[in-house]
Homo-oligomer: A and B are copies of this chain.
């Protein structure tokens, strides 16, 4: 094993230069101090005694003795024949308490980032409290089925990309994104989502959250001080825009889309909307409201951020094209592979109006210089070869099956429950009759039974007060049998009303 740089071992050189009679002890002291001080971190593999002795110009016996001594003292640990490592008994000298968030989230499945693209707040359900039973079925929305990630195909595309990519492509990226990916995405989005796209308008970014940050900074620099968000909608947008210096204003929805009067009265000049499949209500905006929103944007010289977070997953035949296709100079369109491939790829896109383009690109540049190149090239390969379309069809089949399982289970086990937003996406809204409630009891009993649910009221200001229990149920990440079992468990826990 000759995989070690020499830098750290040079710490030991002064000891090696000590007079012969105390060289062994000096070496042990230096090594011990290096471990104690954290300069050799726990888990670091030490060079072989032969290699270190050669590097230091001392006898191998001296090094062996030092390793044995420190192993005996607990600074090092060794596996017979496999090598010697720095142990974790000694503690470094970093001041302060363990870092905030340094311990894993007890919920495990809800890391800090997860709520973001899910466009939902951190869960406040009792399921995550201390002493609560483990979550067995988690219906909180936002995560796709990660087991559907096409590992073999992705791996093959990675190999192909590394074999063909010219050397200069490994250099500093174009902050707008890899040209071949922008070309591929523009074609794909035009075809699938009815947008008006050209590669020159497309900016590759790390996902919808970064798109929101980028646009937030640009709008703030233009003097805007607030952005409107749908009510119900995503409180997480508030946190994102707050990081750019913008306030957020809830704007009420009805069953057709954003209500025009409160929008006009709000004074904002930018809004974030989800017109194809509103989050979380699941409605599709009416044509009139789409047109009215664009009229408003033109009248106030404003902009619309269209978050097409699950536009790829429609289960009916009605084409719901993106709003952007109606006015590419007023709508910033954004989407990502988070639901179709994996959120961990952090790969998304924006279509940006001409007037904002240079500012968005400059922000992207100062934020990270551009997205990593290899994943971009792999996605371009994927889209161009048709593998992305295949993946979408595969997800769509799986998710439709799960939705159907959910609808059947609700009908069977919680009869009377109304369900909306079922035509598309990865979640539905369920309105469970008041006889199963009240909501606090419903959620608490479910949580006690190991089922995590998220109430609709976490996504907005409405409090209907009719006693019904409104839930946002994510199903895409759960196998059909798990969906069915989860709803049955809930029904048993809350009792027949």
Contact = CB atoms under 8 A, between A and B. Distances in A.
A198 B346 contact: no
Interface stretch (A56-64, A172-180, A251-259, A468-476): A172-180
B175 A5 contact: no
B114 A171 contact: yes
Contacts of A158: 155, 158-159, 162
A59 B175 CA distance: 46
A175 B112 CA distance: 7
Interface in A80-130: 86, 92-102, 108-109, 111-114, 116-117
Nearest to A118: B172
B113 A7 contact: no
A368 interface: yes
B162 A154 contact: yes
Contact of A3 (B11, B372, B389): B389
A57 to B, nearest CB: 12
Contacts of A439: none
Contacts of A358: 99-101
A41 interface: yes
A286 interface: no
Nearest to A169: B344
B319 A10 contact: yes
Max count, chain B CB within 10 A of own CB: residue among A5, A162, A385? A5
A417 B355 CA distance: 50
A213 interface: yes
A4 B191 contact: yes
A385 to B, nearest CB: 7
A170 interface: yes
A423 to B, nearest CB: 14
Interface stretch (A141-149, A227-235, A277-285): A141-149
Interface stretch (A32-40, A296-304, A448-456): A32-40
Interface in A428-477: none
Given A174-B111, A243-B366, A98 B200 contact: yes
Interface stretch (A19-27, A201-209, A485-493): A201-209
A117 B370 CA distance: 12
Given A39-B196, A171-B343, A346-B371, A209 B366 contact: yes
A174 B112 contact: yes
Given A7-B191, A354-B99, A373-B344, A198 B387 contact: no
B111 A173 contact: yes
Contacts of A93: 196
Given A94-B198, A113-B365, A170-B344, A186 B4 contact: no
B7 A43 contact: no
A40 B154 contact: no
Contacts of A210: 367-369
Contacts of A197: 38, 41
A44 B389 CA distance: 13
A292 interface: no
A41 B187 contact: yes
Nearest to A368: B206
A11 B319 contact: yes
A375 interface: yes
Nearest to A363: B243
A496 interface: no
A101 B361 contact: yes
A198 B41 contact: yes
Nearest to A189: B41
A214 B136 CA distance: 37
Contacts of A98: 200
A108 to B, nearest CB: 8
A344 B3 contact: no
A6 to B, nearest CB: 8
A41 B191 contact: yes
B170 A146 contact: yes
Contacts of A114: 171-172
Contacts of A7: 191-194, 319
A342 B206 contact: no
16 contacts: A3-B389, A4-B389, A5-B389, A7-B193, A38-B197, A39-B196, A41-B187, A44-B187, A95-B328, A97-B354, A111-B172, A146-B170, A205-B368, A240-B366, A343-B369, A375-B375
Top 10 nearest A-B pairs (CB, nearest first) are A3-B386, A344-B373, A96-B354, A113-B172, A243-B366, A8-B191, A170-B342, A114-B172, A113-B369, A206-B368
